[in-house]
């Protein structure tokens, strides 16, 4: 019997180019991916990978198997979607970044809660960084993900994934109300190079976007505080500790003493989209979730 994990591991290597990259996308160790491919080689009785320098390449047979494997995996996804009684289906699994969980998903979760009360499929949500959300969709651990990317930090869905645009989320600079720049209607980035910034933690996509904020000016932002909660960053502005770059979806009403000013060049925009596997495009639950997100 051919192991599905072996097929997913081989497709991962084909899509991402290396065992290490495939392991990262699939959420396994490189050793686990290698073992899964080896088991598949034993099942099929043929080599699928060959060493090339310090890495590996798919053999000719490996490339052929990967093409067929992608179709098999997509077909299994469609079979699960079409054959199951909706009342017996597990919850629709959604991954989302935290501000979309708060700002975009309540109507979706409320609608699915009502479906659950009527004995139909429900939904769950997990808030993670967009990089992680995309990986969860790629390896089938969630059914769809609400993600975003910045013009300076592209987030590219892999082969077999569908991305549906939802909205453009503009980021503004938050300052205390008597800051010297607070009287301006809009700000130039060059005026901010000597300011102190607060930010979300290192490695997250919004932090990477901030780190590239002055890239064309050959400067790095002076980040003196970090917190994973946007509300905490707003409080640091109110306390006159540091200014911050905050997407509009990421903030509620601003407290007294804090003002938002747009950037003159409108350079800081994140594109919000919903991503799911192409093989699940006809799923009624996914179509419903996408429609609600677009409304």
Structure tokens at 68: 């067929």
Architecture of domain 4-83: Orthogonal Bundle (1.10)
Instruction: Please state the rounded mean pLDDT for residues 78-102.
Output: 74
| Mean pLDDT of the region 154-177 | 92
Distance CA 89, CA 280 (A): 14
The SS3 of residue 152 is coil
CATH code for residues 168-266 = 3.40.190.290
Q: Please report, for residues 133, 194, 257, 259, the alpha-carbon distance to residue 209 in angstroms, rounded to integers and kept in the order given.
A: 17, 18, 26, 21
| 181-214 pLDDT tens trace | 999 999 999 999 999 999 999 999 999 999 999 9
Contact (CB, 8 A) for 198 and 241: yes
- Asked whether the CA dihedral 281, 285, 288, 289 is positive or negative, the reply is negative
Both structure tokens of 4: 């599905």
The pLDDT of residue 12 is above 90? no
Instruction: Judge contact between 7 and 40, C-beta under 8 A.
Output: yes
* Confidence at residue 37, expressed as pLDDT on a 0 to 100 scale: 85
| pLDDT of 83 higher than 60 | no
CA distance 224 to 221: 9
Cα 81–94–274 angle (5° rounding)?
Answer: 90
> For residue 149, which of 251, 27, 247, 220 has the smallest C-alpha distance?
247
Bridge partners, residue 94, by sequence: 125, 144
Q: Would you say 94 and 143 are in contact if contact means Cβ atoms under 8 Å apart?
A: yes
Q: Do domains 4-83 and 168-266 have the same CATH topology?
A: no
pLDDT tens for each residue of 33-52: 888 888 888 888 888 888 87
Q: What is the average per-residue pLDDT within 111-134?
A: 86
Q: Is 272 exposed, middle or buried (0-12, 13-18, 19+ CB in 10 A)?
A: buried
As given in the structure block, the two tokens for residue 258 are: 């804090």
Report the candidate in 225, 226, 217 with the shortest Cα–Cα distance to residue 192: 217
Output the CA angle 5-7-10, nearest 5 degrees: 110
Is the Cβ–Cβ distance between 105 and 292 less than 8 Å? no
CA distance 24 to 58: 18
Most confident of 20-24, 25-29, 101-105: 101-105
Any idea how long the chain is? 295
Higher pLDDT, 83 or 292: 292
**At the fourth CATH level, which superfamily is domain 86-167+271-294?**
Periplasmic binding protein-like II (3.40.190.10)
Between β-strands 123-127 and 92-96, what pairing exists: parallel, antiparallel or unpaired?
Answer: parallel
Residues 123 and 91 sit within 8 Å (Cβ to Cβ): yes
Cβ count near 7 (within 10 Å)? 22
> What value does the mean pLDDT take over residues 147-157?
87
Is the C-alpha dihedral spanning 144, 147, 151, 156 positive or negative? negative
What integer pLDDT is reported at residue 156 of this predicted model? 85
Sorted by where each begins, the domain ranges of the chain are: 4-83, 86-167+271-294, 168-266
């Amino acid at each position: 019997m051919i192991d599905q994990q072996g097929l997913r591991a081989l497709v991962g290597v084909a899509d991402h180019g290396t065992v290490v990259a495939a392991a990262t996308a699939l959420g396994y160790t490189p050793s686990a991916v290698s073992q899964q491919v080896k088991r598949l080689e034993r099942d099929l009785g043929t080599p699928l990978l060959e060493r090339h320098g310090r890495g590996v390449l798919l053999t000719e047979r490996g490339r052929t198997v990967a093409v067929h494997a992608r179709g098999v995996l997509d077909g299994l996804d469609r079979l699960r979607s079409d054959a199951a009684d909706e009342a017996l289906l597990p919850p629709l699994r959604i991954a989302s970044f935290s501000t979309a969980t708060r700002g975009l998903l309540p109507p979706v979760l409320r609608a699915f809660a009502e479906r659950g009360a009527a004995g139909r499929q429900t939904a769950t949500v997990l808030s993670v960084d967009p990089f992680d959300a995309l990986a969860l969709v790629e390896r089938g651990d969630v059914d769809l993900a609400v993600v975003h990317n910045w013009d300076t930090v592209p987030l590219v869905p892999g082969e077999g994934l569908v991305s549906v645009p939802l909205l453009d989320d503009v980021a503004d600079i938050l300052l205390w109300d008597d800051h010297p720049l607070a009287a301006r209607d809009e700000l130039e980035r060059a005026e901010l190079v000597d300011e102190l910034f607060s930010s979300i933690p290192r490695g997250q996509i919004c932090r990477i976007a901030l780190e590239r904020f002055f890239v064309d000016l050959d400067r790095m932002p002076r980040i003196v505080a970090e917190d994973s909660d946007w509300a905490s960053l707003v409080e640091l502005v109110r306390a006159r500790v540091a200014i911050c770059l905050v997407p509009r979806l990421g903030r509620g009403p601003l407290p007294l003493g804090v003002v938002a000013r747009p950037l003159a060049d409108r350079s800081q925009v994140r594109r919000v989209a919903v991503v799911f596997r192409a093989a699940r495009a006809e799923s009624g639950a996914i179509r419903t979730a996408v429609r609600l997100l677009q409304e």
